[in-house]
Amino acid sequence: MNVLMISPGYPADMPEFTRGLAECGAAVIGVGDQGAGNLPDLVKRSLADYIQVRSLWDAASVADEIRGRLSGRQLDRIECLWEPGVVLAAQLREEFGVDGLDVSSAQRFRDKESMKHALDQVGIRTPRHVAADNVADVWTAVQDIGYPVILKPIAGAGSADTYRVGSNDELRAVLPLLRHVAVVSVEEFVDGEEYTFDTITIDGNIAYFNIAWYRPRPLVARSNEWISPQVIALRDVDLPEFEGAIEMGRRVIETLGFNTGFTHMEWYRKADGEIVFGEIGARPPGAHQVDQMKYACDFDVFKAWASAVTAKPFDYNIHRKFNVATIYKRARGVGRIQAIEGADILQKRFGEHVVWNTLLSPGTPRRDWRQTLVSDGFVMLRHPDLGQTLSMADAVGSELHLYAG
């Protein structure tokens, strides 16, 4: 099977998906705008060929460049697990006659307004929402929905350019920050806990799913630099409190016509128990949350996805063994990392439960926490008991400090 993999080396977990394809026997043809020499070693070992294009954002040009390099080879699958490339993958599928998510469906996954309208029509509870492409329409939408509201791009990813607005004064302050966004979604602010519902789906049927809990919800974490955001992959997903969300997730995938691959849905649970849809992407979550799934069940999620898209038997014996917490750290100060405080003590306390530590080393430039959830590195740990997991995660959040200067 010849599989075209768009952007096999970026973002950071794409090399693992590329490896998974190769280990399932696929001849993986990478396509990207970075030089072959700059690809991660794991990608180089996993690719049968690599096509460097001038730009990934001109579909017609990309198709021409690929066609010129295929030398008569037929493509069986075209995959992209990076949000900005989901529509490009669909355009290339139509260009080369390859099965998978088509352009119309891909655009519905990217366009939050179109997505929610489709779900509204089948009775799935979404936040009240209006699309606006000018300031006057934003004000009208806010008046109709009522404060507080969320403003965000209709085709954004994660919580970038997303704002909670609670008054006219706050709206006046936020509107200039969204001048570069062509169309914004004005949404009802849903007050509740925020979770994910992530799936590997085969022919529309869910073969594996994961539920993760954001602590605190991303909008809060993105608005406060001092917070160490946490994502908790939950072990006990069969509790009654999750039944409604799981059923909603199945209906969302069916309604939007997703067939085979990874999905990442976000949803809310209000204090009264009401379940509300947030949004869904036709790709996995970022910030190494797929690695969380791997450590929660001790199975190769990347290869499991590859098995799904290459029509291999999905014969994975999946047992949820652990809750897995990832705690993302943000250094204090600006410049280069100067010191890390508390890491050794916490390692002695929790060492057997720590599965991954990516904290930046002293001397490394601090990252812009507004641009990446991973920030200045993370600690990933696991435990069968949720209470113990949260206790350890909170200790890392409050007792581990990075200083920059």
Higher pLDDT, 153 or 103: 103
Query: Which contiguous run of DSSP H or E holds residue 264?
Result: strand 261-270
Residue 234: which pLDDT band, with cuts at 50, 70 and 90?
very high
Query: Nearest Cα to 186, choosing from 109, 114, 129?
Result: 129
pLDDT of residue 1: 96
Question: In the predicted model, what is the mean pLDDT of the chain?
Answer: 96
Query: Nearest Cα to 80, choosing from 282, 303, 256?
Result: 282
Residue 71, pLDDT above cutoff 90: no
pTM of the shown model:
0.93
Per DSSP bridges, beta strands 323-328 and 378-383 are antiparallel
Residue 157: which pLDDT band, with cuts at 50, 70 and 90?
low
Residue 355, pLDDT above cutoff 80: yes
Measured from the Cβ of residue 133, the count of other Cβ atoms closer than 10 Å reads 12
Contact yes or no for 268/302 (Cβ under 8 A): no
Q: Is 338 left (phi over 0), alpha (psi -120 to 50) or beta?
A: alpha
Distance in Å from the first CA to the final CA of the chain: 51
Q: What's the average model confidence in pLDDT over 311-340?
A: 96
Contact yes or no for 308/202 (Cβ under 8 A): yes
Is the Cα dihedral 53, 55, 56, 60 positive or negative?
Answer: negative
3-class SS of residue 41: helix
Residue 362: which pLDDT band, with cuts at 50, 70 and 90?
very high
Residue 31, pLDDT above cutoff 70: yes
Residue 111, pLDDT above cutoff 70: yes
Token pair recorded at residue 401: 């400090």
- 149 φ/ψ angles, rounded to the nearest 5 degrees: -130, 165
Residue 151: which pLDDT band, with cuts at 50, 70 and 90?
very high
Residue 155, pLDDT above cutoff 90: no
Q: What percent of the chain has pLDDT over 70?
A: 99
Distance (Å, rounded) from C-alpha 142 to C-alpha 148? 8
pLDDT of residue 270: 96
What does the pLDDT look like over 73-87, one tens digit per residue? 999 999 999 999 999
The residue written with tokens 């096999």 in the block is 8
Residue 222, pLDDT above cutoff 90: no
Residue 199, pLDDT above cutoff 80: yes
Residue 154: which pLDDT band, with cuts at 50, 70 and 90?
confident
Distance (Å, rounded) from C-alpha 389 to C-alpha 296? 12
pLDDT of residue 159: 62
Token pair recorded at residue 117: 């309208």
Residue 158, pLDDT above cutoff 70: no
Q: What's the average model confidence in pLDDT over 311-334?
A: 96
pLDDT of residue 211: 98
